[in-house]
Each structure stands twice: as C-alpha cells, then as structure tokens.
Amino acid sequence: MEHGLHLPDLNRGERVTRIPVERSPLSEERRRKRRLLALLSILVAVGVGVTLITYVLLQPGPPLRIMSVAVSPVRPAAGETLTVLAMIQGGTLLKPSSASITFATFFGDGGSGGGSMVPIGDNRYQGQLGPFINGTEVWFVVSAVSGSEGPVISSQMTLDVGTVVRNGPSGIAIAQVTRIPTNPDPLDIVVVTAQVTSQSTMLQVSFSYMAFYRNGQGSGGGSMIQDTSGNWTTGGMFVAPVMPRFSGTVFYYRIAAIDGTQNTATSAVYNYTLR
C-alpha cells in the first residue's frame, strides 16, 4: 500500500477549493497608518518647499542705486537720436526696479518731457531722446524706483546738439537766483527770481523744472517775465496745476537765457524737496 499526499488530478477535472486568507485587522491598521504618514510627509515637504521659496522671494535685494549713465553720441549733430543707457542695481523678483528719463531743452528747441526706459538685461535700461535741431542744449537725468524704494536720481547731464553759442562778447550772465519760500510744502506756490544781464537789449529768459515722486516723474517750465525791479521771475507759473504735488516730491530747476546776438547762459541746477 502506498502512502503519501494525494493531490487532485487537474486533468481529471477534480474540483479545487480555495480557502480565503483572512487579513489581520492589525495589518490593515498598519497600512492605513503608513498611507497617512506618507501623505503627511508629502504635505510637510510641500510646506517646507513653499516656505523656502517664499523666504527667498521676500529677501530684500541690494540697495537701489544708479550705477552709471552713458549717452551716445556724446557730440550729437542736428537730427540725431540720442541713446541713453543706465546701469541700475536693486529691486527683487516680486518688486523689480524700473527706470525713466526726464529732460528739458533750451535755445534751439525749447521744451521738456520724458518716459520709461526699456530693460535690456543685466540690470541695464535703455531710452532715447530727440532728435533735436542745431543749437539746442539738452538737460536730462535718469530716475529709478522699485516696489519699496525710490525715487533715486542720477547726476544731471547736459550736452549740446550742434553748436550752442557761449561766452560771446555780449557778456550775458545769470546771477542772484532766489526761491520763495525756501522750504515749501505741497500747498505753496513757489516763485523763482533771477538777475539776468547782457549788453544786448533783446533777452529771452526761460525756466524749466523736473519733479520726482514715489510713483512717477514730470517736467515743465515756460518763459520768465521781467518785474518792476528789472529782475526776471516765474510769477505764479511754477508749479503747473497739473503737476502732482506730494510731500517728499523732489524738484530740480534751472534758468536759461539767450540774447539778440544768440549768446547763451544757463544757471546752476537748484533743488528742494516738499516737506
């Protein structure tokens, strides 16, 4: 007699009964905890990543500074367009910096204006001025702001387009420039007065200003008039009603004169900040 384990003969069609394996409740609980821990791990990782990204984005950038300003051509001829290139440090990804040009012109062309500069990469911004006619003096500055700083203003730059007559025999000169009040607030009307002398009897005296405030900039000006004492004054012209006037607004201004011999003179640049 043979003894041994009798296996069903599948070829003979014997039925095989499968006995289900019952899962331990403890094993199922462990699986649930593992899934929960995995989910928590993912959430923690995402939270840490978001925190790090937010931390990096909110870090302050370097102080806002205008590193350099260059213009070409440096000796423009009449009809040429001027290209201004500024290097600016500061701003962040969330609060980037922006730059603008503000300008005024005298003698050949008389006027003022400005606009935004275009970022061209590597902290550089580019803008254009002109073209202007022969005998024009161009006075301009670059200003920059960021989400939390500014305005920062560059040094003033002037250049002549073609030939501007200076130091001619008529001896035209500007002196004794005064401002009333000396420390104005946003409600004051500022009056600028100057003495202008020349051996030529034909004089044209003009006044130009630039203004810089937190959210923008502007410029303007016009002809000065001669008062009863012989001095030249802006009267009530400065500042134009359309010019925003906020506490902290920075004003730059200067005077220019031309006489009948086409000899010219310009004053120094003066400035003040509205208190």
- pLDDT at residue 262, rounded to an integer: 95
Cα–Cα dist 153/132, whole Å: 24
Read off the pLDDT band of 91 (50, 70, 90): confident
Q: Which one of 1.10.10.10, 1.10.3080.10, 2.60.120.260, 2.60.40.10 gives the CATH number of domain 165-275?
A: 2.60.40.10
pLDDT of 224 above 50: yes
The 10s digit of each residue's pLDDT in 167-214 is 999 999 999 999 999 998 888 888 899 999 999 988 899 999 999 987
pLDDT of 54 above 70: no
- pLDDT at residue 167, rounded to an integer: 94
Tokens of residue 121, six digits: 């990469």
Q: Choose among 221, 232, 228: nearest CA to 192.
A: 232
Cα–Cα dist 7/10, whole Å: 9
Cα–Cα dist 247/205, whole Å: 29
Q: Choose among 97, 105, 88: nearest CA to 266.
A: 105
Answer yes or no: same fold for 61-162 and 165-275. Answer: yes
For residue 239, give the DSSP letter: S
- pLDDT at residue 203, rounded to an integer: 87
Cis ω for the linkage preceding 151 (within 30 of 0)? yes
The mean of the pLDDT values for the chain is: 84
Read off the pLDDT band of 87 (50, 70, 90): very high
- pLDDT at residue 241, rounded to an integer: 42
Alpha carbon of 191 to those of 72, 158, 217: distances in Å?
36, 24, 21
Cα–Cα dist 258/252, whole Å: 21
CATH number assigned to the domain covering 61-162: 2.60.40.10
The 10s digit of each residue's pLDDT in 105-120 is 999 888 899 999 999 9
Domain ranges of the chain: 61-162, 165-275
- pLDDT at residue 239, rounded to an integer: 47
Close Cβ partners of 137 (under 8 Å, ≥ 6 residues apart): 105, 106, 107, 108, 158, 159, 160, 161, 164, 256, 264, 266
- pLDDT at residue 12, rounded to an integer: 53
The residue ranking higher by pLDDT, 239 or 221, is 221
Q: CB–CB of 61/78 below 8 Å?
A: no
Residue 228 burial by CB count (10 A; 0-12/13-18/19+): exposed, middle or buried?
A: exposed
- pLDDT at residue 55, rounded to an integer: 55
- pLDDT at residue 3, rounded to an integer: 52
